[in-house]
Amino acid sequence: MKSTIISAVVALFLGLSTQNVDLGPAYSVKITGTTQWKEIKRIEKDPVFVEGLEFIDDTTLIESVGQYWGSQIRKVKMNTADSEIILEHSLPAGNFGEGCTKFNDFIYQMTYREGNVYVYDANTLEQVKVLKMPKEMEEGWGLTHDDTHLWASDGTDHLFKIRPDDFTVVEKLKVKDKNGKAVHYINELELVDDHIFGNVLPLNIIIKIDKKTGQIEKIYDFKTLFEAQMERVDEIGNYWDKTNNVMNGIAFNKVSNTFIITGKNWNYFFEVQLQ
Ligand SMILES: [Ca+2]
């Protein structure tokens, strides 16, 4: 997710579905976390509206770009100090790109409220087919996968285990904190072994969720990375919005055992190690 106000206006203008998650309460949510992580380095990136991020090999990311203008799926090569787009594919007009993940030979990319799931050849990014978003999900937000299934978020307090062949839901997992309280607005996802990591809109935090129980085991606070990004705001121009351009994008590199973290219209991929 989401540029709330702008996309709501654009969605209205385009006559798109108005059935959606009410994001207003998200902006009053307060969740505190730990700073038990360390920054390894910063890598320059093209500032785009990141809605999905995942490594497909140890130096290449897939990145989903959202908004009702310029939505894309792309491959990004990670160099030592910067990054470069090596392949890109634009979505049809009126489709807002959301979570993306690679499973077997295909890359899946959800859309926000348009009901489409685009499936691409993982090598060429050519569109192979279009599936439909499941009726159980209110919207398309984050997407990741394990060895057998895809896992998605829809902006609520649930994660959805999904069949890769037809994108139907086989399990709905409620996410709750240590006091049993539901945690909503779960956004971009990353699955590592038995855990799913998720951004929570609009907070600059990442929650670590037990994939079997939905229990949140740890909450990481990355406010200082957001503050580092704020120092680059002048370069972004007038489409920078402190409320909307928050952290969104987690990708695990199993070779280095580190995570890449970024955000909407951020200038950096931050490489971090979680403890
Ligand atoms: Ca991810």
Residue 40 lies in a domain: no
Distance CA 159, CA 171 (A): 8
Residue 188 lies in a domain: yes
The DSSP H or E segment spanning 154 is none
Ligand 1 centre to CA of 4 (Å) is: 21
Q: What is the CATH number of the domain that holds 146?
A: 2.130.10.10
Domain span including residue 80 = 4-27+51-218
Residue 9, pLDDT > 60, answer no
Query: What total number of domains does the chain contain?
Result: 1
CB atoms within 10 A of CB 177: 14
Distance CA 151, CA 164 (A): 10
Distance CA 136, CA 171 (A): 10
**What's the mean pLDDT in 218-236?**
92
Residue 177 lies in a domain: yes
Ligand 1 centre to CA of 100 (Å) is: 7
Q: Which residues surround ligand 1, an ion (CB under 5 A)?
A: 53-54, 190, 250
pLDDT digits over 112-127, tens only?
A: 999 999 999 999 999 9
Q: Which residues pair with 154 in a beta bridge?
A: none
Q: pLDDT tier at 19 (50, 70, 90 boundaries)?
A: low
CB atoms within 10 A of CB 260: 26
Residue 258 lies in a domain: no
**What's the mean pLDDT in 162-182?**
96
Ligand 1 centre to CA of 211 (Å) is: 15
Instruction: Give the percent of the chain with pLDDT over 70.
Output: 93
Instruction: Give the percent of the chain with pLDDT over 90.
Output: 83
Q: Would the pTM count as exceeding 0.85?
A: yes
Ligand 1 centre to CA of 99 (Å) is: 8
Distance CA 53, CA 188 (A): 8
Ligand 1 centre to CA of 97 (Å) is: 14
Q: Which residue has the higher pLDDT, 102 or 244?
A: 102
